[in-house]
Amino acid sequence: MIAPDMHEVSICQGLVKVVLDEMAQRAIPAGALLRLRVVAGALHQIVPESLEFAYDLLTRETPAAGSKLELRVTPLAARCTKCDWRGTIEPPLFLCSVCGAGVELEGGDELYVEDLEIAES
């Protein structure tokens, strides 16, 4: 098992708050949440195993206990400020792969709950 670092724990605390608030608002009973689907951009540099470990720890003894976290990482999408090239880039180089100029990010910095999978009653 991989111990989470503070980065993943901090991100996960926010996700768990969103999930527990949503469960309370929708009157979802404890144990009914099967899966939490999260989308995170590559810019967040999340280690999936660490986030899952943090989620398991932070949801213990909560209505979300026993549910699983599923993470989908989206790539960094960019547009060149000089030649208008569009594509994906890898950190730490935020440069156009065609002309070497600087780029503007167009995606890959998102972080949101995509879906809650609830057991049928």
Domain containing residue 51: CATH number: 3.30.2320.50
pLDDT at res. 91: 76
Tens of pLDDT, residue by residue over 11-30, are 999 999 999 999 999 999 99
Residue 88: inside a domain, yes or no? no
pLDDT at res. 45: 93
Residue 87: inside a domain, yes or no? no
pLDDT at res. 19: 98
d(CA 33, CA 2): 24
State the residue range of the domain holding 54: 6-74+108-118
**DSSP category for residue 32:** -
Residue 82: inside a domain, yes or no? no
Residue 45: inside a domain, yes or no? yes
Residue 83: inside a domain, yes or no? no
Residue 97: inside a domain, yes or no? no
Tens of pLDDT, residue by residue over 65-121, are 999 999 999 999 999 999 999 999 987 788 999 999 999 999 999 999 999 999 987
Number of domains comprising the chain: 1
Residue 90: inside a domain, yes or no? no
Tens of pLDDT, residue by residue over 30-51, are 999 999 999 999 999 999 999 9
d(CA 62, CA 11): 18
Residue 61: inside a domain, yes or no? yes
What is the residue whose two structure tokens read 């720890």?
57
Model confidence, pTM? 0.86
Q: Pick the closest to residue 43 from 101, 99, 89 (CA basis).
A: 89
Neighbours of 89 (CB within 10 A): 19
